[in-house]
C-alpha cells in the first residue's frame, strides 16, 4: 500500500463531500421560512430586524452564490454560530465529541471482542445446535429496536435491580473511574447489540468460505490443532470481507448513537443533535450532519486501507 | 449489502415449474413459514381488531385520567395516562406502522430498482453519476437526515412515508445494478437485442424478470428497515404525531412512565421486534427459495 494510494483515496472523498454539502444546503434552504424560520416565528423580531439578519448572512444573494459563500466558510472552519447558545458551532461540537468517542470506542471494542469469537464458533461448529441458536440470537439482535432495548435495560438494571445508573456521564459530584464505568456500561451495550449481531454473521460466512479452502487442509495435514488453524491461518482471511461491512455499519452506529445518547442522557454529539432539533438550531444541525458524514467517509477510507493491508493480493498502484 | 453476482435460478426451466420449486423450498424453511404466519396474524388483527374492540384509539375514560392504569379484564394491556385503552392503541398503531413499513419498502424498491437498472444497463456516465449519487446518500447518516427533514418540513404521514422510502433504497440500487450488469451480457438479452428490442423493452421484459428474486428479497428486508426507521423517528418525537398512535410514538409516550407503568413500554417493543424478526425470517427464506446456491 503506497502513500499515493492513501492520497488518492482521500482526494476521491472530496466530490462525495461536495455532493453531501449540496444536499444538506438545499434541504435547509428549501425548508419553509428557510434558515430564518426560527426568527420568523418569533413575534418580538420585527420584519426590519429579520431583513437585517438576512442581509448580514447574505441571504438576499442568489442561492448558488450563497452556497459558494457557505462552502468557503465551511472549508476555512467557520461553521457559524449556534442559535441556542450563541457559541461557534465547531467549538460546541468539539466540547461534546469526547463522550461520543468514549461511547463509540467502547462499543466498537465490545462488538469486536464479542462478534469475532461468536462468528468463529458458529463457523467451526456449522449446523450444530450452538450455531443455530447463535443464528437465531443474531437475527433477534438485528431486529430489536435500539431505543426499546435501552428502555428495557433501564427498567431491569436501574428501576428493578438498582444496579446501574439510568442516565448521564457520571454521578453528580462523582466521576471516579468506577462511577464512570457504571454509567457507560448500558449505553455501550445497547450501541453494540446490532453491530455484534451483524458482524458475527459476516465473520461466520467469511470464516466458512476460508475453512473450505485447500490451504486450510494443508495446515491440518501439517498437524496444526483446530484452534491453531483457525487463529493463525484462517482468521486473517476471514476478516477481509467483514472489514467492509464494519465500515458500512458505521452509518448505523451514528444513528444508534443519536438514540442511545438521547435515552441515556449521554452528553455527546448525538444528544447535541436532538437538543438542536428541539431548538431548531440550523447552523448546529448542519455542522453535525457534515460531521457525521465526514465520519462515515473516513470510516470507509480506513476500511479500504485495512482491506489492502489485510489482503496482500490487493495492490492499489 | 454484498455485491455478489448471484446465479440466475433456472432461467431455462418453464416459469411455473420454477415457481413450484420456489414454493416447495420456501415451505421447507421453518422460520420463514413462522415469519409468514406471524405477519398474517398481525395483518388480520390490525385489519379487524378495531371493529372488535369496544374502544377507539383516542377514546378516553375520564375516570382513569392522570396516570396509567394497570392491566385487567377490561383493559387487557392497561390504559395510558390519558385514560385510553393501550391494547386498542397498539392495534391502531400496528395499522399505521405496518402501512408505513410496506409503503416505505415499495417506494424504496421502486427507486432502488430504477437507479440500479439504469446504472447497470447503460453503464458509462449514467452509471458513474448514479452510483456517485448513491455513495453520497450512503454517506449521510440516515436517522439524523430523516429527523432533519421531518423537523424542517413537518411532513404529512404520506410524505413521511415517502421520505423514509427515499432514504433506504441504496442497498437495492447496488444489488439491482450488479444483477443488470451480469444479465445484460447473457445470450437471451443479446438475442432480444438482435431482434430489435430497445433499451426499455430489454430492461423491463427481458432483464428485470430474471432479477426478480433478489429484488423480492431486498424488498422484504426493506419492510423491516422502514418499520425500524419510522419507529425510531416516532420514538424521538419527530414521526407521526399523537393522538394517531404508531408503535414508535407509543413507546415515546410510555418512556416517562417506565418505572410506574412498565406494562405500557413492553408490548409496542415486542410487536416491533416480532414484526421485524418475522420480516427478516421471511426474507431469509425467500432468499434460500429463490436463489439456491447450487
Shortest CA gap A133–chain B (Å): 12
**Cα-Cα-Cα-Cα dihedral sign, residues B147, B153, B157, B160:** negative
Q: Which has the closest alpha carbon to A244: A205, A289, A199, A207? A: A199
Partner-chain residue, chosen from A159, A262, A274, that has the shortest CB–CB distance to B258: A159
Higher-pLDDT residue of A248, A300: A300
Q: Which residues of A touch B144 (CB under 8 A)?
A: 254-255, 258, 273, 288-289, 292
pLDDT tens for each residue of A223-278: 888 888 888 888 888 888 778 777 777 888 888 899 999 999 999 999 999 999 88
Q: Which has the closest alpha carbon to B226: B90, B107, B89, B95? A: B107
pLDDT tens for each residue of A13-48: 899 999 999 999 888 887 776 666 666 666 677 777
The pLDDT score that the predictor gives to residue B228 is: 93
Query: Tell me, what DSSP letter sits at residue B169?
Result: -
Shortest CA gap A60–chain B (Å): 21
The pLDDT score that the predictor gives to residue B81 is: 77
Q: Which residues of A touch B248 (CB under 8 A)?
A: 145
C-alpha cell at B102: 410496506
Lowest pLDDT segment from A30-39, A53-62, B24-33, B63-72: A30-39
The pLDDT-based confidence of B10 (bands split at 50, 70, 90) is very low
Task: Compute φ and ψ for A2, nearest 5 degrees.
Answer: -100, 165
C-beta atoms of A292 and B153 within 8 A? no
Query: Tell me, what DSSP letter sits at residue B208?
Result: G
Partner-chain residue, chosen from A27, A145, A151, that has the shortest CB–CB distance to B231: A145
For residue A97, how many other CB atoms are within 10 A of its CB?
15
C-alpha distances in Å from residue A19, one per residue of A256, B120, B133, B180: 24, 22, 8, 26
- The answer to whether the predicted template modeling score (pTM) of the entire model surpasses 0.90 is no
Q: Which has the closest alpha carbon to B246: B77, B106, B38, B57? A: B57
Q: Which residues of A touch B132 (CB under 8 A)?
A: 15-16, 19
Q: Which has the closest alpha carbon to A233: A206, A212, A203, A210? A: A210
Whether residue A113 is predicted with pLDDT greater than 90 in this model: the reply is: yes
* Chain A stretch 115-154, residues whose beta carbon is closer than 8 A to a beta carbon of chain B: 136, 139-140, 142-148, 151-152, 154
The pLDDT score that the predictor gives to residue A39 is: 66
The pLDDT score that the predictor gives to residue B3 is: 47
Enumerate the β-bridge partners of residue A132. Answer: none
C-alpha cell at A307: 482491506
Partner-chain residue, chosen from B2, B141, B254, that has the shortest CB–CB distance to A255: B141
Which residue in A33, A252, A255 has the most chain B C-beta atoms within 10 A of its own C-beta, making it the best mutation to test that interface?
A255
Whether residue B34 is predicted with pLDDT greater than 60 in this model: the reply is: yes
* Chain A stretch 17-56, residues whose beta carbon is closer than 8 A to a beta carbon of chain B: 19-20, 23-24, 27-28, 31-32, 37
Chain A nearest-CA residue for B278: A143
Shortest CA gap A292–chain B (Å): 6
Q: Which has the closest alpha carbon to B269: A148, A93, A113, A51? A: A148
C-alpha distances in Å from residue A298, one per residue of A41, A293, B215: 38, 9, 30
Partner-chain residue, chosen from B140, B224, B272, that has the shortest CB–CB distance to A20: B140
Q: How far is CA A50 from the centre of its chain?
A: 37
C-beta atoms of A155 and B258 within 8 A? yes
C-beta atoms of A289 and B144 within 8 A? yes
Whether residue A1 is predicted with pLDDT greater than 60 in this model: the reply is: no
Lowest pLDDT segment from A107-116, A175-184, B90-99, B172-181: A175-184
C-alpha distances in Å from residue B136, one per residue of A161, A303, B152, B171: 45, 17, 21, 13
The pLDDT-based confidence of B294 (bands split at 50, 70, 90) is very low
The pLDDT score that the predictor gives to residue A315 is: 63
**Residue B34 CA neighbour count, 13 Å, CB half:** 11
Shortest CA gap B212–chain A (Å): 24
Lowest pLDDT segment from B130-134, B205-209, B278-282: B205-209
The pLDDT score that the predictor gives to residue B189 is: 84
Whether residue B200 is predicted with pLDDT greater than 90 in this model: the reply is: no
Contact A183, A158 (CB under 8 A): no
Q: Which residues of B touch A285 (CB under 8 A)?
A: 148
Grouping H, G, I as helix, E, B as strand and the rest as coil, residue B81 is coil
Predicted complex ipTM exceeds 0.95: no
Sole residue written with cell 483457525: A230
Chain A nearest-CA residue for B142: A255
Q: Which has the closest alpha carbon to A250: A306, A173, A211? A: A306
Partner-chain residue, chosen from A32, A148, A285, that has the shortest CB–CB distance to B148: A285
Chain B nearest-CA residue for A255: B143
C-beta atoms of B277 and A24 within 8 A? no
The pLDDT score that the predictor gives to residue B259 is: 81
The pLDDT score that the predictor gives to residue A36 is: 66
Shortest CA gap A9–chain B (Å): 14
Partner-chain residue, chosen from A136, A145, A274, that has the shortest CB–CB distance to B269: A145
Higher-pLDDT residue of B44, A310: B44
pLDDT tens for each residue of B123-181: 899 999 999 999 999 999 999 999 999 988 888 889 999 999 999 999 999 999 998 88
pLDDT tens for each residue of B68-102: 877 777 777 777 777 788 788 888 889 999 999 99
C-beta atoms of A289 and B140 within 8 A? yes
Chain A nearest-CA residue for B255: A151
Lowest pLDDT segment from A108-122, A254-268, A302-316: A302-316
pLDDT tens for each residue of A121-163: 888 888 889 988 998 999 999 999 999 999 999 989 888 888 8
Amino acid at each position: 500500500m503506497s502513500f499515493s494510494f492513501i492520497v488518492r483515496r482521500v482526494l476521491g472523498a472530496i466530490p462525495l463531500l461536495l455532493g453531501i454539502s449540496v444536499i444538506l444546503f438545499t434541504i435547509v434552504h428549501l425548508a419553509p421560512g428557510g434558515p430564518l424560520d426560527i426568527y420568523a416565528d418569533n413575534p418580538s423580531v420585527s420584519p426590519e430586524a429579520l431583513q437585517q439578519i438576512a442581509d448580514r448572512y447574505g441571504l438576499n444573494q442568489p442561492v448558488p452564490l450563497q452556497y459558494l459563500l457557505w462552502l468557503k466558510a465551511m472549508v476555512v472552519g467557520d461553521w457559524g454560530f449556534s442559535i441556542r447558545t450563541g457559541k461557534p458551532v465547531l467549538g460546541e461540537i468539539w466540547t461534546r465529541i469526547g463522550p461520543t468517542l468514549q461511547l463509540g470506542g467502547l462499543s466498537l471494542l465490545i462488538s469486536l471482542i464479542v462478534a469475532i469469537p461468536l462468528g468463529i464458533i458458529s463457523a467451526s461448529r456449522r449446523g450444530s445446535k450452538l450455531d443455530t441458536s447463535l443464528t437465531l440470537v443474531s437475527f433477534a439482535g438485528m431486529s430489536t429496536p435500539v431505543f426499546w432495548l435501552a428502555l428495557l435495560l433501564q427498567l431491569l438494571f436501574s428501576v428493578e435491580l438498582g444496579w446501574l445508573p439510568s442516565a448521564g456521564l457520571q454521578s453528580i459530584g462523582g466521576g471516579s473511574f468506577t462511577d464512570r464505568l457504571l454509567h457507560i456500561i448500558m449505553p455501550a451495550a445497547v450501541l453494540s447489540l446490532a453491530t455484534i449481531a451483524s458482524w458475527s454473521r459476516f465473520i461466520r460466512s467469511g470464516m466458512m468460505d476460508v475453512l473450505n479452502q485447500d490451504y486450510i487442509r494443508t495446515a491440518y495435514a501439517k498437524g496444526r490443532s483446530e484452534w491453531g488453524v483457525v487463529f493463525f491461518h484462517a482468521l486473517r482471511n476471514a476478516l477481509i470481507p467483514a472489514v467492509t461491512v464494519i465500515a458500512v455499519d458505521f452509518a448505523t452506529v451514528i444513528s444508534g448513537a443519536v438514540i442511545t445518547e438521547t435515552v441515556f442522557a449521554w452528553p455527546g454529539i448525538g444528544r447535541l443533535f436532538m437538543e438542536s432539533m428541539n431548538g431548531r438550531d440550523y447552523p448546529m444541525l448542519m455542522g453535525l450532519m457534515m460531521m457525521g458524514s465526514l465520519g462515515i467517509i473516513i470510516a470507509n477510507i480506513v476500511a479500504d486501507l485495512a482491506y489492502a493491508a489485510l489482503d496482500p493480493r490487493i495492490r492499489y498502484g | 449489502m454484498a455485491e455478489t453476482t448471484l446465479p440466475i435460478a433456472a432461467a431455462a426451466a418453464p416459469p411455473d415449474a420454477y415457481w413450484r420449486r420456489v414454493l416447495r423450498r420456501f415451505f421447507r424453511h421453518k422460520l420463514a413459514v413462522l415469519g409468514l404466519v406471524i405477519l398474517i396474524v398481525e395483518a388480520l388483527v390490525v385489519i379487524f381488531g378495531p371493529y372488535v374492540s369496544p374502544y377507539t384509539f383516542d377514546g378516553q375514560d375520564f375516570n382513569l385520567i392522570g396516570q396509567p392504569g394497570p392491566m385487567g379484564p377490561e383493559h387487557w394491556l392497561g390504559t395510558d395516562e390519558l385514560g385510553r385503552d393501550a391494547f386498542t392503541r397498539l392495534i391502531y398503531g400496528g395499522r399505521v406502522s405496518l402501512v408505513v413499513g410496506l409503503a416505505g419498502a415499495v417506494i424504496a424498491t421502486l427507486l432502488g430498482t430504477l437507479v440500479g437498472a439504469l446504472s447497470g444497463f447503460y453503464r458509462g456516465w449514467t452509471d458513474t453519476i448514479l452510483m456517485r449519487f448513491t455513495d453520497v446518500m450512503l454517506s449521510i447518516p440516515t436517522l439524523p437526515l430523516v429527523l432533519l427533514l421531518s423537523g424542517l418540513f413537518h411532513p404529512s404521514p404520506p410524505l413521511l412515508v415517502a421520505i423514509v422510502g427515499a432514504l433506504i433504497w441504496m442497498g437495492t440500487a447496488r444489488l439491482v445494478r450488479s444483477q443488470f450488469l451480469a444479465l445484460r451480457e447473457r445470450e437471451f438479452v443479446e438475442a432480444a437485442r438482435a431482434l430489435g428490442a430497445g433499451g426499455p423493452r430489454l430492461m423491463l421484459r427481458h432483464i428485470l424478470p430474471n432479477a426478480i428474486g433478489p429484488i423480492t428479497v431486498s424488498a422484504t428486508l426493506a419492510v423491516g428497515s422502514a418499520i425500524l426507521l419510522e419507529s425510531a423517528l416516532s420514538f424521538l418525537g419527530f414521526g407521526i404525531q399523537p393522538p394517531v398512535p404508531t408503535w414508535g410514538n407509543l413507546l415515546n409516550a410510555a418512556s416517562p412512565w417506565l418505572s410506574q407503568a412498565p406494562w405500557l413500554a413492553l408490548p409496542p417493543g415486542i410487536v416491533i421486534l416480532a414484526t421485524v424478526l418475522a420480516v427478516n425470517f421471511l426474507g431469509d427464506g425467500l432468499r434460500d427459495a429463490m436463489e439456491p446456491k447450487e
